[in-house]
Amino acid sequence: MSRRAPLGTVLVLLLAGCGGSAGDGAAAAPGPSAAEVGGPLTVFAAASLTDVFTDLGERFEADRPGLDVQFNFAGSSALATQVTQGAPADVFASANEAQMAVVADAGLADDPQVFAANVPQIAVPAGNPAGVTGLADLGREELTIAVCAPQVPCGAAAEDVLAAAGVTAAPDTLEEDVRAALTKVELGEVDAALVYTTDVTAAGDAVEGIDVPEAEQVVNEYPIAALADAPNPEAAAAFVELVRSEEGQQALADAGFRVP
């Protein structure tokens, strides 16, 4: 995803902004077609969206030869901080509504909409060598446990689901995002981690997932918004539309997300 917008595409976009004034009798120019939307598009998205958004980004580019989609995947709290501190971005997709609210309350998000949901799940290495069966095992002192840091949506969800189960866990590592916690499991560096259902799905045979009934009390809803100061507002709106479209929702469902 490193193509540069052709000069012709750039000229089309520049000329599109130079239509006649309301007083000269000219009809309003139509909005740009998909092929005319070009330039870089920067999407800040929660780490748990890495696989499905990368796929959607490739589809988005395929219909727009002059567009270069660039992703910044990280913990939602870190992304919200970057946006409010002025990092240039077009779209923000958060793993919970609290971090989107940070951006929206700063006047930087245009009409956030929930587009998916996710629930916590225990991930263990293939074969489950520690014999983990549920949340209670995360309180076993002899096990090595990974969770996300509490300021990250997956960490807040972990705290809530453990509280709902009445389990006191002493995690050995606090990770900056859910994919970092998952990687610890894939590498066999921990006996278990609390991640999202979608992360277990994305890991394939490298890990096993263990459902927890209490997870239904801790459903994370994912909002998305074009940013108010988006450098490429037309492409931002189009990408948000794709995510919320039937095509985008099917891709999310295939990745294990719940969709509205």
CATH number at residue 44: 3.40.190.10
Can you give the pLDDT at residue 35? 53
Can you give the pLDDT at residue 211? 93
Tokens read off for 28: 């309003």
State which residues form the domain around 236.
Answer: 7-117+221-254
Tokens read off for 219: 């459903």
**Confidence at 104, pLDDT banded by 50, 70, 90:** very high
Per-residue pLDDT, averaged over 222-234, amounts to 97
211 and 98 in one domain? no
77 and 205 in one domain? no
Q: State phi, psi for 42 to the nearest 5 degrees.
A: -105, 120
CB 42 within 8 A of CB 89: yes
Report the alpha-carbon distance of residue 5 to residue 68 in Å, rounded. Answer: 7
Report the half-sphere exposure of 125 (CA within 13 A, side-chain side): 15
In a domain, 259, yes or no: no
Report the alpha-carbon distance of residue 6 to residue 25 in Å, rounded. Answer: 32
In a domain, 166, yes or no: yes
C-beta atoms surrounding 246 within 10 Å: 8
Tokens read off for 227: 């940013």
* % of residues, the chain, pLDDT over 70: 86
In a domain, 13, yes or no: yes
Can you give the pLDDT at residue 47? 94
Per-residue pLDDT, averaged over 23-33, amounts to 42
204 and 79 in one domain? no
124 and 109 in one domain? no
Tokens read off for 243: 């995510």
Tell whether the model's pLDDT for residue 223 goes beyond 60: yes
Per-residue pLDDT, averaged over 176-196, amounts to 95
Can you give the pLDDT at residue 110? 87
In a domain, 159, yes or no: yes
Report the alpha-carbon distance of residue 236 to residue 239 in Å, rounded. Answer: 5
168 and 87 in one domain? no
**Confidence at 46, pLDDT banded by 50, 70, 90:** very high
121-171 per-position pLDDT tens digit: 999 999 999 999 999 999 999 999 999 999 999 999 999 999 999 999 889
In a domain, 47, yes or no: yes
In a domain, 1, yes or no: no
Report the alpha-carbon distance of residue 108 to residue 126 in Å, rounded. Answer: 43
Can you give the pLDDT at residue 14? 34
In a domain, 233, yes or no: yes
What is the 8-class DSSP label of residue 1?
-
CA terminus-to-terminus distance, the chain: 29
